[in-house]
Amino acid sequence: KKSRKRPVRVYMDGCFDLMHYGHANALRQAKSLGDELVVGVVSDEEIVANKGPPVLSMEERLILVSGLKWVDEVIANAPYAITEEFMNTLFNKYNIDYIIHGDDPCLLPDGTDAYGPAKKAGRYKQIKRTEGVSSTDIVGRILSSLSDMEVNKNHSKAFQSETGGSTRTQRSHFLPTSRRIVQFSNAKILRCARQLGDFLLVGVYSDQTVSERRGCHPIMHLHERSLSVLACRYVDEVIIGAPWEVTRDMITTFNISLVVHGTVAEGSCSDEVDPYVTPRSMGIFKTIASPNNITWTSVARRIVDNHEVY
């Protein structure tokens, strides 16, 4: 029931470092304010100059943003500030109708509003920021988890003294409602349910399973991890709190025709029980080459190294 001939194009920019469900929820709301969502991913250099080094590179952040189900187009190496000049590029080259940002104040180093020009032009719209999560908070969670584990004694000691010895992991109290889960899902689920091979079901381990297998608490709790996975455009459904082992019962219940695992995985520190014995014995297990070797540990390593610089 669109009355306009041309689709309404909206633009949202950001760093999107350590992509989380707060970013996903922002992009979901932005998309609902128009027909097509164009996302500007701020360049590494601009982030360094405005907030300090990002953990993930431009290329990695682009892959993550492009994988979200609400994103139609991305602009790589976007500027941190939307100047008059860049605003005109957005309007004329990218046919943007509105520029969108969360309701948190966004000030440039000189103290002016980063979205001032867009507001003045009457082309600004706002979405609600998601409480309880941010890239900075995730970095904090990773650092306190590291110091709890004493994975790296020297680095975590340095962090401990910086924070006055208090290193208890801050756990977010975030709880998604059933409405939020539906908002993150999509109607495609029902249509694809019968088409085997066109439906991706992802099992997200419970917090307890992660703790038992890895010997440490997960950085993001079950609900946060489930929403993040659900925000991915390739995912149709999520089992919220999947068991470690893929059982025959699960395979039957969910009508699973193929179980897939990548070549790169975080090493488990407890006994090496193969969680895929059943699908292997049924001849429905497949290993696929992981496209890169990024893991929780390698991200934590980068954060510690970044911290050392500052």
- Binding footprint of ligand CTP on the chain (CB under 6 A): 12, 14-17, 22-23, 26, 101-102, 104, 129-130, 133-136
Q: How many CA within 13 A on the CB side of residue 59? A: 2
Tell me how far CA of residue 106 lies from CA of 15, 76, 114, 135, 307, in angstroms.
Answer: 13, 20, 6, 15, 24
Q: Cβ of residue 23: shortest distance to ligand CTP, in angstroms?
A: 5
- Is residue 91 classed exposed, middle or buried when 0-12, 13-18 and 19+ CB atoms within 10 A define those classes? middle
Phi and psi at residue 188, in whole multiples of 5°? Answer: -55, -30
Least CB distance to ligand CTP at residue 127 (A): 6
Indicate the residue among 105 and 197 with the shorter CB distance to ligand CTP.
105
Least distance between ligand CTP and beta carbon 194 (Å): 36
* 39/246 with CB nearer ligand CTP: 39
Closest to ligand CTP by CB, 26 vs 300, is 26
The answer to whether 250 and 282 have CB atoms below 8 angstroms apart is: no
Give min distance, CB of 117 to ligand CTP, in A: 16
Closest to ligand CTP by CB, 138 vs 242, is: 138
| Tokens coding 130 | 């998601």
Pairing mode, strands 124-127 and 36-42: unpaired
- Residue number of the CB closest to ligand CTP reads 102
Decide whether 44 or 236 has the Cβ nearer to ligand CTP: 44
Asked if 214 contacts 166 with a C-beta cutoff of 8 angstroms, the reply is no
Q: How far is the CB of 12 from ligand CTP (least distance, A)?
A: 6
